[in-house]
Amino acid sequence: MDPLYNPFSPGAGSRPPELAGRENIVNDARIALARTIRGNNSQSQILLGLRGTGKTVLLNEIESIAENEGYITSFVEAPENRSLAEILYPQMRQILRKLSVLENARVAANVALSGLRNFASVFKIAVGDVEISAEPTPGSADSGDLEFDLTQMFELIGKAAKSANRGWALLIDEVQYLKDEELAAIIVSVHRVNQRNLPVIVVAAGLPQIAKLSGDAKSYSERLFDFPGVGALDRTAAIEAIRNPLIKEDIEIDDDALDLIIEMTAGYPFFIQEWGHNIWNSADSSPITLEDAQKASEKALARLDSGFFRVRMDRLTNAEIDYVNAMALLGTGPYKTTDVASQLGKDQSSLGPRRASIISKGMIYSPNYGDVDFTVPLFDDFLRRRLQQ
């Protein structure tokens, strides 16, 4: 069928034609946003899921709900090698600039800008002289302790937003790349603004490897945050994700074709888009048949093997590739690190650094103590296909 009208959208963060199976997460976010901007306590979310399950899409969706609710929003992606202070600084400055032109928020925004100036200086963030014209106020966000200073900045921004009847929604993607103390600082800051009924909310998303929180951050995180899992779609949602976009284009699909797609994709959103994209291009006319779906499956797998999966392999060293191959040869995960070591014929303790490096590259994670698993769904199948060639 004409690729020009293909409704499916495989790609990082690209909005799917049908956001299937995520009603609960979206509704919970909507309630939290509506409560927070009214000064009511709410539970915020950290969305946890494997690669390609739709976390970024959800964060974008939640950002637009926030905008409709009256929030000024900031969307950041935690980088692998930069500090949280560095990525938040320009966002906080932009929010305060926007607030400072609103009549009711001007005074509070300028107070906050002067705190931000200290913040930039204690965290050695390179800023031009003209960036902030406010005079520094001693004692405001200038301790050099991230937890303390970020809490102060959240409070100052919250007060400024509140005086203009606005809110600040901070969306953080790839939250697994934050250092433990950075995530702790965010959680403690959220606790403070929540306690003071200020309209600031944080919604985050990342791989399901929870940071090792301790102290206050740990006890707050359990009460303040909900950690919804963003996983594979169940059968009903997977069917909707494929069928509804087709119906909108007046195209039917046979049940056995749908069954094949659900089996091949295991309900994972990214793969569903990839298969949808390929069945559309493979089929000549409605209804889409099992044969069309079989042709599409071959194309989709070939495309994934040479693209999506392949680029991830390219980030690994040869020794790391041996490690992930050993995992795949054990079957489907999670895998005990001791089993991986035996598979490799190596001593488990000597493999620690190699495992840590693969984890830091975001390829595998540790779902439980002593276990590892792939962060990319169906990656084990890919590795086995590759080993058989």
Ligand X SMILES: Nc1ncnc2c1ncn2[C@@H]1O[C@H](COP(=O)(O)OP(=O)(O)OP(=O)(O)O)[C@@H](O)[C@H]1O
User: Which residues sit at the interface with ligand X, rule CB under 6 A?
Assistant: 9-14, 16, 18-22, 49, 51-57, 241, 269-270, 272-273
| Shortest reach from residue 227's CB to ligand X, in Å | 15
Stretch of 22-30, 52-60, 127-135, 291-299 contacting Mg ion, by CB under 5 A: 52-60
Are the CB atoms for 223 and 187 separated by under 8 Å?
Answer: no
| Shortest reach from residue 112's CB to ligand X, in Å | 31
Residue placing its CB nearer to Mg ion in the complex, 56 or 140: 56
Per-residue burial over 299-314, b if 16 or more Cβ lie within 10 Å, else e, is: bbbeebbeebbeebbe
Residue placing its CB nearer to ligand X in the complex, 155 or 274: 274
Which among 331, 252, 100, 80 has a CA at the least distance from the CA of 182?
Answer: 80
19 binds, options Mg ion, ligand X, none, Cβ within 5 to 8 A by partner type = ligand X
10 binds, options ligand X, Mg ion, none, Cβ within 5 to 8 A by partner type = ligand X
| Shortest reach from residue 77's CB to Mg ion, in Å | 8
Residue placing its CB nearer to ligand X in the complex, 12 or 101: 12
Residue placing its CB nearer to ligand X in the complex, 92 or 171: 171
Which among 46, 377, 25, 59 has a CA at the least distance from the CA of 232?
Answer: 377
Residue placing its CB nearer to Mg ion in the complex, 175 or 217: 175
Residue closest to Mg ion, measured at CB = 56
Site for Mg ion in 54-93 (CB under 5 A): 56
State both tokens at 268.
């994972």
Give the number of other Cβ atoms within 10 Å of residue 66's Cβ.
27
State both tokens at 298.
């071959």
| Shortest reach from residue 347's CB to ligand X, in Å | 33
| Shortest reach from residue 13's CB to Mg ion, in Å | 6
Beta-bridge mates of residue 6: none
- Beta strand pairing call for 371-374 and 71-77: unpaired
152 binds, options Mg ion, ligand X, none, Cβ within 5 to 8 A by partner type = none
Are the CB atoms for 165 and 70 separated by under 8 Å?
Answer: yes
Residue closest to ligand X, measured at CB = 54
If binding means CB under 5 A, how many residues of this protein chain bind Mg ion? Answer: 1
| Shortest reach from residue 161's CB to ligand X, in Å | 27
| Shortest reach from residue 240's CB to ligand X, in Å | 8
DSSP H helical segments within the chain, as ranges?
23-37, 55-69, 84-100, 106-122, 146-163, 180-195, 215-224, 235-248, 255-265, 269-282, 290-306, 308-313, 318-329, 337-344, 352-360, 379-388
Residue placing its CB nearer to Mg ion in the complex, 56 or 118: 56
What residue type is assigned to position 6 of the chain?
N
Residues near Mg ion, by CB under 5 A: 56
